[in-house]
Chains A and B, each alone.
Chain A
């Protein structure tokens, strides 16, 4: 019997949507069972959300006060203990999964396949390299298959399941060398989540300043969009880091992506390759972003946004 264990990402109360995307990838493996591991300090509500994802057989819940914050050095030994008997281990390719999964893989002596974007067979996968400018088809060696799932490549698996929730006690020793201190979120509360939003309005260096970014927020709020940014905008302090889109930021796949004052460097484009429709507004008609935009408009972003706000009533 071959089965896959998907590691749940959550914040203590809510299951992150990236988990259900990883489940969509897990379904394509065609194995006998899909289980989800929830490690939490109090995991009742998260494990219920995980159990509701269709196609999931068992949710394994490990409760431990040490799991209040997702610290990889503490989570890794617990998941290693759970991994026995699984042929596959998956986690979303978010900063959570990227930090955690290699730590587990190395202990298990297995290589990791990062950013799975397509399942060819249970051991053969496609993944992007060079900021998505090439795709490699790779085969995992014998033994457990370990991979992170490129969330922009998979839809959120639907609800409607009713998996069994199984509580597990583990007797593994946890290290004391790593202490969580704090998490400060970049703000943006109340706005849609960048990685889940259907529409994203993004600003680049062309926006010019932190104050000017209010026009980006204004348009986003008007149309119910999440707010993104280029690295240059984040580096310049216009907007916090968790808004960065691209090779080293977030990889997203909204239905509509609107880029204002972004030139379109390959590292930025790596983050929006799967967007449904790309709109670019830039005053430079030769900006590379126009090579990928479905609708390009040459002009001053401030004027365009003013007109857009008027036109969208």
Chain B
């Protein structure tokens, strides 16, 4: 069986982003870009499923500009077998991303599609659920454990109330949460080997994907800043300050 994995190129999670003064977006010139951390976890999980003998092939998928192939190379170096690049310079919103994944599912017939729980640039947390909807497949989002058993997967999900367990029939869409695993480090020889692996490229037209109605971004602003506070020297001073504000008795 095949596993399809989403790999989105995003601003690295360690970068302190800057909003452009003209409100047109955030500054990305010279900013470090990486694979979305949740996608790294998704790739790692797919590889572990393959290494446990449950899958034959792991296919990494990205949608974005030409440079997004860097992140596909990382996925290939981690161990993905091949990659698909859906090339576009347009902003791909979740519903369109879901339609593209659906077109690729129709082509590749994977048993599992593993996506990240959210992309840390737009923080939407929608694509997996939308893909599941339009495929009429089960969804198990925010996964912290996946166990395969024949044509079913048992998934433990991180929800507000604790941990929820679902059993889903395959094929299914699963989205990875932080505690699903710890991704492996890429070793130099793997990077060399990855260079020989295939990346197939498609356009939206070639996949016959119609972009979905999009949300228009009117402007980008910096968040309201919190007033800088003070350092107190002692617990007594802290307690006095909190009592004065009526926050403790």
Contacts and interface: CB of A to CB of B under 8 A. Distances in A.
Interface string A141-168: 1110000000000000000000000000
Contacts of A181: 154, 165-167
B164 A182 contact: yes
A138 B162 contact: no
Given A102-B129, A181-B167, A241-B162, A138 B215 contact: yes
A248 B215 CA distance: 23
B202 interface: no
B208 interface: no
B123 A183 contact: no
Contacts of A110: 95, 213
B226 to A, nearest CB: 5
B238 A295 contact: yes
A266 B179 contact: no
B164 to A, nearest CB: 5
Contacts of B229: 278, 290, 292-296
B125 A114 contact: yes
B122 interface: yes
A294 B235 CA distance: 14
B17 A311 contact: no
B160 A195 contact: yes
A89 to B, nearest CB: 14
Interface string B144-186: 1000000000100111111111111100100001110000000
A250 interface: yes
Contact of A135 (B117, B132, B220): B220
B187 interface: no
A112 interface: yes
Contacts, number: 252
A187 to B, nearest CB: 8
B154 A242 contact: no
A297 interface: yes
A60 interface: no
Contact of A248 (B118, B157, B220): B118
A255 B247 CA distance: 7
Given A109-B213, A114-B124, A307-B235, A134 B218 contact: no
Contact of B213 (A73, A143, A234, A296): A143
A11 B161 contact: yes
Q: Is the interface of B mostly helix, strand, loop or mixed?
A: mixed
B161 A106 contact: no
Interface stretch (A32-40, A51-59, A93-101, A209-217): A93-101
B98 to A, nearest CB: 6
A219 B232 CA distance: 19
A135 B223 contact: yes
Given A140-B215, A141-B216, A240-B163, 17 more contacts: A72-B129, A72-B139, A103-B139, A106-B98, A111-B212, A114-B124, A136-B220, A139-B218, A142-B213, A175-B136, A180-B165, A181-B166, A242-B161, A242-B162, A247-B123, A248-B177, A311-B236
Which 7 residue pairs spanning A and B have beta carbons closest together? Answer: A102-B129, A106-B130, A106-B133, A294-B229, A185-B162, A181-B165, A102-B126
Interface of B: 11, 13, 16-17, 19, 26, 93-95, 98, 117-118, 120-127, 129-134, 136-142, 144, 154, 157-169, 172, 177-179, 212-223, 226-236, 238-239, 241-242, 245, 247-249
29 contacts: A72-B129, A73-B132, A95-B158, A99-B129, A102-B129, A103-B133, A105-B95, A109-B213, A110-B213, A112-B95, A133-B222, A134-B221, A178-B139, A178-B169, A181-B154, A183-B165, A184-B163, A184-B165, A186-B162, A186-B163, A223-B249, A247-B123, A248-B177, A248-B178, A278-B229, A293-B229, A296-B232, A308-B238, A308-B239
